[in-house]
Structure 1
Amino acid sequence: MVLILTEADVELLANKTDWLVGIDVNEAVFREESLQHTLCPQRQIIDTMNEAATEKTMTTYFKYASVKGLGIGTKVVSVVPGNARLNKPTVPATVLLIDPVDGSSLALIGGTYLTGYRTAAGSAVAARYLAPKDSSVLSVFGAGLQARCHIEALLAVMKGITVINIHNRTVATAVALVDSLRLKYSNVRFVVVSAEEAVSSIVSESDIIVAATNSSKPLFDGRWVKPNSMVIAVGSSRPDSRELDSATVCSSTATIIVDDPGSCLVSGDIHSPLQEGVITQGDLVRLSSVVAAKGLPAGTTKKSIIVYKSAGTAIQDIGTGKMFYDLAIKSNTGVKVDL
């Protein structure tokens, strides 16, 4: 029997579960990686072109992984910018879990919400160990699923946050996000920042900055980032798109943490600084090493700022997918079918 979990099922399970549960699951995944108890081959990529073969209309990634004690599976995720015009997810995804005993299909899970959830949980793991303990101001670029999940996950681990600035290209989307969050977090002051000229101010006052957009160009000048702060970037996954400039991702001023070096090397946030020579591959520190050390690993120098770059790793998809599977079995959520 295969358990089918829709996007609505996953979101329901997430909303009924304390964020710390998901964050701890993702921390456990990275701990298993540090112990070499995971396998995660390089992702496979297929580009789809338009009829004239002049423009990419879709990029599809196939990501496989196994995590000891959690299982085996694969995730198929596509990046389809044109879906925005159709009011569909621009990053639709599906996760398949395999029974580690008999090899049969265990679950088919809608992976769009899961992706946002696990990415934010990974960022929260990084923040738990590396963000300033007295952080009070969080600024978020973007107002979609990733932005919402990051706000909620970071509030779960950084209890001192009292001000959250949200800057988004479409102001109405940011306003709608703030209106929904205010109902849940009455002790936090949410501010929608619409003016571009105000970006320098919110960046310079922030203890933690989250970039969660589909921007192809840097969102702010890295020289505005104040010392002893943390920058989290999760939106870019291709060499030709980046949210951070090379003043932010620079080995002389930033300690750079990555979830998966292979994926991050083809993300513009890391690819471009490498090409420019302001960082080297040796400057990249794995998040799994941070988890193992419960902070920066021995021999890693803490620079003026911490940059955490997430481009996605399938070990998180498998670990988080298994978590939702277990929650679904306990709550009788989803539908079981015979293939």
Structure 2
Amino acid sequence: MAKTLGAISAARDSEAAGPAAVQNPLRISTESRSHKTLYMPSRLATAETADTAIKVVAVPTPDCTLSGLPGTTLLMNESTGAVRALVNSAELTGLRTAAASALATRTLAQPDSRSLVIFGSGVQAYFHARLILELFPSLEHVDFIVRSRNERTSSLCAKLSQRFDSVTVQVREAGEVDDVLPRADIVCTCVPSTSPLFDVGMLKGTVHINAIGSYTPRMFEFPPELVSEAEAACIPQILVDSRSACLAEAGELIAARVAPERTTELGELFDPVSGRLREDEKATKAMADLRRAGKSLFKCVGIGGMDVAITRLVVDVAEKQGTGSIVAY
């Protein structure tokens, strides 16, 4: 993910001839009674390869009785124009987003963090917990904030407790947020909320937040005042996956009227070839600005290039292992 986001940010400033290395047209959609279906084409070219893909995700409407977000990615062969692979993207979307959040968390959060609070209990919540727990062995508590306990939340706790047996994993209902949020070192908001999930005053002075659930101007996961320059305790510099996408789609940033210069892309901090954290003057200053308020925030709405990268990675591994079904076409 560090290489992918580094390549995306580097390509934005490139003046190389030929097709643009990174192409992420705005998503389009169709609507039915049960779902709003999103279509997200993208292209990502790096020093190693170039791939084109389109992801299709069905977002349930309130009338839909089924859970989950069905998703499919078509990975294309750029030479022939034919479909190279058809991949279920539901798990991969959760994994690629969590990988970006984990990268941001490793970069900005306190290395001795002990408490992780996650809003949500779906695929995104699981992968965020799993990857951050692997990166931060100091964590002792994970609390999931949900609307109500159910079979899914029980399964979530069981899976994580089995993998991380030294960590206390608990599910708490929304009314209990006051009990756990004030001690949280790391917070992940993984729900498509239309109203803020917490008050700014609940947060520790050194908390790191990953906000990945909202992706439209009418969605809000955290209070806009957290990033509003009109507030004395606001976070002055915000880490984002894509500056243009977040300023166009993230309801919290739009409501707070965040200017482009107050955002830093995660990819701007990493070398696209090595994937290592850059150590030049510009990156060092950006890191200092991101940590200036004590609190830090990573806002992610999802970039098509991230889907291309993880789909290509999985397909490459599948082909080497002989996994999957080959269909005549």
- The TM-score range, normalised by the shorter chain, is 0.7 to 0.9
Distance 1:27 1:322 in 2: 15
Q: Where does residue 10 of structure 1 map in the other structure?
A: none
1:48 is aligned to 2:34: no
Secondary structure of 2:256's match?
helix
Distance 2:63 2:26 in 1: 25
Q: Where does residue 280 of structure 1 map in the other structure?
A: 259
Secondary structure of 1:244's match?
coil
**Stretch moving more, 103-112 or 37-46:** 37-46
Q: Where does residue 259 of structure 1 map in the other structure?
A: 241
Distance 1:135 1:226 in 2: 12
2:43 to 51, 57, 65: 65
Q: Where does residue 305 of structure 1 map in the other structure?
A: 295
Q: Where does residue 309 of structure 2 map in the other structure?
A: 319
CA contact (8 A) 1:222 1:246 kept: no
**Stretch moving more, 104-113 or 171-180:** 171-180
Cα drift, residue 220 of structure 1: 0.3
Distance 1:176 1:108 in 2: 29
**Stretch moving more, 95-104 or 79-88:** 79-88
1:143 is aligned to 2:143: no
Deviations 1:266-301 (A, max 9, x none): 121322222xxxx32221110101224548824332
Structure-2 change in CA distance of 1:123 and 1:324 (3 Å): same
Q: Where does residue 74 of structure 2 map in the other structure?
A: 96
Letter in 2 for 1:329: E
CA contact (8 A) 1:97 1:106 kept: yes
Secondary structure of 2:226's match?
coil
Deviations 1:33-52 (A, max 9, x none): 243274123323124265xx
Letter in 2 for 1:144: G
Q: How many residues align?
A: 303
1:269 is aligned to 2:225: no
Letter in 2 for 1:257: L
CA contact (8 A) 1:71 1:322 kept: no
1:233 is aligned to 2:211: yes
Deviations 1:254-274 (A, max 9, x none): 131110123212121322222
Structure 1, unaligned stretches of length 5 or more? Answer: 1-25, 51-55
1:206 is aligned to 2:192: no
Distance 2:58 2:110 in 1: 33
Q: Where does residue 194 of structure 1 map in the other structure?
A: 173
Letter in 1 for 2:10: L
Distance 1:120 1:84 in 2: 28
Deviations 1:110-158 (A, max 9, x none): 1111111100011111112111111111000000000001011111222
Q: Where does residue 17 of structure 2 map in the other structure?
A: none
Q: Where does residue 325 of structure 2 map in the other structure?
A: 335
Q: Where does residue 116 of structure 1 map in the other structure?
A: 94
State the TM-score, normalizing by the size of structure 2.
0.85
Q: Percent of aligned pairs with the same residue?
A: 24
Secondary structure of 1:297's match?
helix
Distance 1:294 1:229 in 2: 23
Structure 2, unaligned stretches of length 5 or more? Answer: 15-20, 272-276
1:167 to 115, 137, 145: 145
Distance 1:34 1:262 in 2: 11
RMSD between superposed Cα atoms in Å: 2.3
Structure-2 change in CA distance of 1:221 and 1:294 (3 Å): farther
Cα drift, residue 221 of structure 1: 0.6
